[in-house]
Structure 1
Amino acid sequence: MSHTEPPHLNARKIKAQGTSRSEQEIFYLAQSLFRLDHLGKQKTPHLLSRTFREGLFFEEEFRSKTNFWREKALVVLDKCEQLGLKMITVGTGYPPLLEKLSDPPKAFFVQGEISSLFHPSIAMIGSRDAPSVALESFSRLSGDIARFGLSIVSGLAAGMDGAAHRGALDAGGLTVAVVGCGLDRVYPPANRRLAQDILDGGGALVSEYPPGDPPSAWHFPFRNRIIAGLSAGAVCGVHRRFSGTSITVRVAVEENRDLFVFFDEQSGGAFDGPLHLMEQGARRVYDAEDIILGLGGRLPVGEADLF
């Protein structure tokens, strides 16, 4: 293992060595799988406030079924090994910003370069059905931010997410996609080429969901906390006030991340989301420099060369 690469799991090593550290990582994955199973059974999984999320672990019930979920974890790890996926768990080699999240994933999976998760990053989010003019301007903004040296984090969805990823790639920058399904598939399928370009560009695909998990509707709002957690701030494009974007915004606000609004009234799209955020005190920005200056001291120590 490289000294510069954060450690990750190898299922065969776990079974062969049985070290206490590896057992701890298996335990974290078992907890994660148990929790995701419970979340999928909730009648209102869209109510993802911090209080709701933190209450989604039933310790006594998990303790009674630890062996069952441990076996599930070992099966998942075997599948990850077959697919060439890596796993990161809390406590070791964990992205520092994500670890500060009040509700970080106990375990998550990575395809691509783990080092890209440790790069100073900003989230870019918005509507899936934004008009082409809005997509083009969002993509240009993403490229300009990437040229300042920041990685772009988004969700690989159609619309603004895809525009943000593509803008960073076109500028030669890094981008990370946090997805709502297992990493053995790409959703939406139309973004398969984009996903490969992210990997080829030195970025990564990230998921809390194990291989085999489908893109269930509740996966997307829950994964949005990871998009916010990996980032020093979030740039919100056109979107409706009550939408998936608004969930990411809520997490960003709860977690004390900087929030920026970027839109042009002439480009079309839903403005009620951005306008509401501005009423609540979010800063409207017009270019990448506004965002870099707005982040100020939020960027990790040692990244002053970005300026």
Structure 2
Amino acid sequence: MKNREDWKEVVKKRQNKMEAWRLSFLSVEELLCLQLLGYSSKQLYENVESERYSLKETASMSIRELDKAKRILDRQTKAGVITIPYNDEAYPHHFRNLCRDAPLLIHVLGNKDLLNREDNVAIIGARAADKEGLNMAYEFAEQMGKQGHIVISGLALGCDTAAHQGCLDAGGQTIAVVASGLDITHPKVNKSLQDEIIAKGGTILSEHPFGVKANPTRLVARCRMQVVLTQSVIVAQCPIISGTMYAVRFAQEYNGVPFGWENNVYSVQYDTQNELNSGNKFLLDYNLALPIRLGQEITLDLDNKIVIA
């Protein structure tokens, strides 16, 4: 009962925060202007209740940045990109569970409706994966695609590319969460894959506007957006020191009663151990993930959790 009451209190606080956002009357242009001025999402999220009028005044007085924000948004609109603010009804409910870590603006190319789907799985792994690791990502994504479920990954080389392609080849839809503005494909060689994702009803998603390039900090930050969209994460293959391990950490952090759901992490179990799958072994040895093997059939149950046949 205590956990249920705690959850009710958390929900009430979020509702109050949402109401504060609606009353702030900060437009998309003003929010982007403030971000261009250096305000972080955390700062704006925390201060909107107490400083909403001063924030609005700051944006209106920052003529150069406000004009730049309008130009960026105009370019994005012409390119088919939809920008959704935190206080919009179309904003993915999954991201609101991030609270102060939620992106204030998201930029979407393609099918925005996928972002509120519950039947999805994140399949992630290392860029420098070997053939076995790529097969793992491809096969599990292919199974999800055939069943009509959504596969989430990060458009990176290696396991991410294999996961997106496996889902697409099965006739499924996939979401790519990226760490740059949507006018930039990172890496460039995946431009054709990005186009295929869009053409087949998928989604490219970023918290960054046009003109922003990917860097290590942004690549790590996008991991939280990947895992919060799903309740099931499959680690196909990764070294013990890798970006994938950040995603696992986020999946553990955004978990339990305060966030309204439970994340399950699955790690592929390999018969032969090497550096490329040392992260998988670590996760299994320390009970940080559940084992899954190549050749196993997977599906989602009524709670959208993975079931291994």
Q: Is the 8 A contact 1:134 1:264 kept in 2?
A: no
Unpaired segments ≥5 residues, structure 1? 1-18, 40-52, 300-307
Match of 1:66 in 2: 59
- Give the 3 Å change call, closer, same or farther, for CA 266–235 of structure 1 in structure 2: same
2:291 maps to 1:284: yes
**Candidates 69, 75, 80, aligned match of 2:71:** 75
The structural deviation recorded for 1:141 is 1.3
Match of 1:86 in 2: 82
For residues 24 and 185 of structure 1, the distance between their equivalents in structure 2, rounded to whole angstroms, comes to 25
Match of 2:216 in 1: 217
After TM superposition, list the pairs within 5 Å mapping 1:177-216 onto structure 2. 177-216=176-215
Alpha carbon RMSD of aligned pairs, Å?
3.1
Match of 2:6 in 1: none
The structural deviation recorded for 1:38 is 6.3
Match of 1:173 in 2: 172
Q: Is the 8 A contact 2:145 2:151 kept in 1?
A: yes
Counterpart of 2:171, as a letter, is G
The structural deviation recorded for 1:145 is 1.9
The structural deviation recorded for 1:66 is 3.1
Q: After superposition, what is the alpha-carbon deviation per residue over 1:27-48, rounded to whole angstroms, capped at 9, x for unaligned?
A: 44345445xx467xxxxxxxxx
Q: Is the 8 A contact 1:97 1:229 kept in 2?
A: yes
For residues 145 and 241 of structure 1, the distance between their equivalents in structure 2, rounded to whole angstroms, comes to 26
Q: Is the 8 A contact 2:150 2:174 kept in 1?
A: yes
Q: Please give the secondary structure, in 1, of the residue aligned with 2:230.
A: coil
Could you tell me the percent identity over the aligned residues? 28
Higher relative contact order (CA 8 A, sep 6+): 1
Q: After superposition, what is the alpha-carbon deviation per residue over 1:94-133, rounded to whole angstroms, capped at 9, x for unaligned?
A: 2222222242111010111111212221111101001123
Match of 1:46 in 2: none
The structural deviation recorded for 1:279 is 2.8
- Give the 3 Å change call, closer, same or farther, for CA 275–214 of structure 1 in structure 2: same
Return the TM-score normalized by structure 1: 0.76
- Give the 3 Å change call, closer, same or farther, for CA 163–110 of structure 1 in structure 2: same
Q: After superposition, what is the alpha-carbon deviation per residue over 1:257-284, rounded to whole angstroms, capped at 9, x for unaligned?
A: 2111124334966222112212332111
Return the TM-score normalized by structure 2: 0.76
Match of 2:95 in 1: 98
Match of 1:136 in 2: 135
Q: Please give the secondary structure, in 2, of the residue aligned with 1:265.
A: coil
Counterpart of 1:122, as a letter, is V
Alignment length (residue pairs): 266
For residues 85 and 147 of structure 2, the distance between their equivalents in structure 1, rounded to whole angstroms, comes to 30
For residues 66 and 165 of structure 2, the distance between their equivalents in structure 1, rounded to whole angstroms, comes to 39
Match of 2:28 in 1: 25
Counterpart of 2:234, as a letter, is V
Unpaired segments ≥5 residues, structure 2? 1-21, 256-262
- Give the 3 Å change call, closer, same or farther, for CA 89–116 of structure 1 in structure 2: same
Match of 2:5 in 1: none
